[in-house]
């Protein structure tokens, strides 16, 4: 079926030149102006990476702390999210395991919907640094409760994890606005995600219990970087404008 479908699409779809020519006639534009392949050429990618690296270097200490915070904590978070059902099934009976999974699914939706817009008001009222410090406190609660074999501890773990995740989405976007152009958000999160996947792929252990310990260790390391960043922010404050003559 896939072979037949691919042949149908191959012979029925117009070529790139035909498509751009027809689109140019409809939009009254030259076909070359509609070709976006130049935006993703190697030269464009290299220039974007060069610009992002220079922006990153404007505040190297803060950005490295945030990068390693995202990388290590996300490495543990990915393991944590993917092993919840296995962990609950091993530790608790079927009723408690299903209850915890239902709480997780419900809390993830409700807290995410409610807290994301509320976070904007929290930033406006309290400022970035107190909200970031609170998110770092939530980040500490996640690995601390991860290995506790208790239903109540796992309930606290779920709420801390879900609340941190919903709040951190706003934290990283606000951070990028303060320390870099908004498009820096994608660069920072992407590099942090790549770092997280590399950590998870390198430090895998065969036993499930070792995997949970690895998850907690990664989160603790990431949390330490968040504490370091919090101290830096309270000592230096948020930048009001970029530093002069540093974009090299």
pLDDT tens across 149-189, in order? 888 888 898 888 888 888 887 888 787 777 765 555 566 66
User: What pLDDT does residue 243 have?
Assistant: 61
Question: Band of the pLDDT at 228, cuts 50, 70, 90?
Answer: very high
Q: Is the pLDDT reported for residue 2 higher than 80?
A: no
Question: Band of the pLDDT at 111, cuts 50, 70, 90?
Answer: confident
User: What number is the average pLDDT over the span 84-109?
Assistant: 85
How far apart, in whole angstroms, are the C-alpha atoms of residue 136 and residue 130?
10
Phi, psi of 138 (to 5 degrees): -65, -40
Length of the chain, in residues = 248
Q: Is the pLDDT reported for residue 31 higher than 80?
A: no
Q: What's the Cα-to-Cα distance from 95 to each of 124, 148, 151, 161, 248, rounded to whole Å?
A: 42, 18, 11, 22, 60
Count of CA atoms in the C-beta half-sphere (13 A) of 89:
5
CB 157 within 8 A of CB 219: no
* pLDDT tens per residue across span 112-128: 788 877 887 888 888 88
Tell me which residue of 72, 71, 48, 55 sits closest to 178, measured CA to CA.
55
User: What number is the average pLDDT over the span 90-103?
Assistant: 86
Higher pLDDT, 86 or 34: 86
Higher pLDDT, 99 or 190: 99
How far apart, in whole angstroms, are the C-alpha atoms of residue 113 and residue 166?
8
User: What pLDDT does residue 79 have?
Assistant: 80
How far apart, in whole angstroms, are the C-alpha atoms of residue 188 and residue 145?
28
How far apart, in whole angstroms, are the C-alpha atoms of residue 87 and residue 146?
10
How far apart, in whole angstroms, are the C-alpha atoms of residue 103 and residue 88?
12
User: What pLDDT does residue 205 have?
Assistant: 64
User: What number is the average pLDDT over the span 16-41?
Assistant: 73
How far apart, in whole angstroms, are the C-alpha atoms of residue 132 and residue 69?
12
């Amino acid at each position: 079926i896939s072979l037949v479908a691919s042949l149908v699409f191959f012979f029925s779809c117009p070529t790139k030149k035909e498509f751009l020519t027809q689109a140019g006639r409809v939009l009254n534009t030259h076909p070359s102006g509609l070709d976006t392949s130049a935006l993703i050429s190697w030269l464009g990618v290299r220039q974007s990476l060069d610009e992002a690296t220079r922006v990153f270097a404007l505040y190297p200490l803060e950005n490295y702390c945030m990068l390693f915070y995202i990388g290590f904590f996300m490495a543990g978070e990915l393991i944590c999210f993917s092993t919840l059902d296995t962990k609950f099934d091993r530790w608790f009976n079927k009723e408690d395991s299903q209850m915890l999974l239902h709480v997780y699914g419900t809390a993830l939706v409700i807290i995410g919907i409610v807290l994301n817009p509320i976070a904007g008001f929290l930033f406006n009222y309290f400022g970035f640094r107190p909200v970031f410090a609170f998110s770092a406190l939530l980040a500490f609660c996640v690995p601390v409760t991860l290995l506790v074999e208790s239903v109540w501890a796992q309930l606290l773990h779920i709420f801390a994890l879900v609340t941190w995740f919903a709040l951190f989405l706003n934290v990283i976007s606000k951070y990028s606005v303060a320390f870099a152009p908004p498009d820096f958000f994608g660069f920072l999160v992407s590099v942090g995600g790549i770092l997280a996947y590399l950590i998870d792929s390198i430090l895998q252990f065969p036993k499930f219990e070792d995997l949970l310990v690895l998850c907690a260790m990664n989160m603790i390391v990431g949390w330490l970087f968040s504490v370091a960043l919090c101290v830096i922010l309270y000592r230096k404050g948020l930048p009001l404008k970029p530093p002069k003559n540093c974009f090299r």
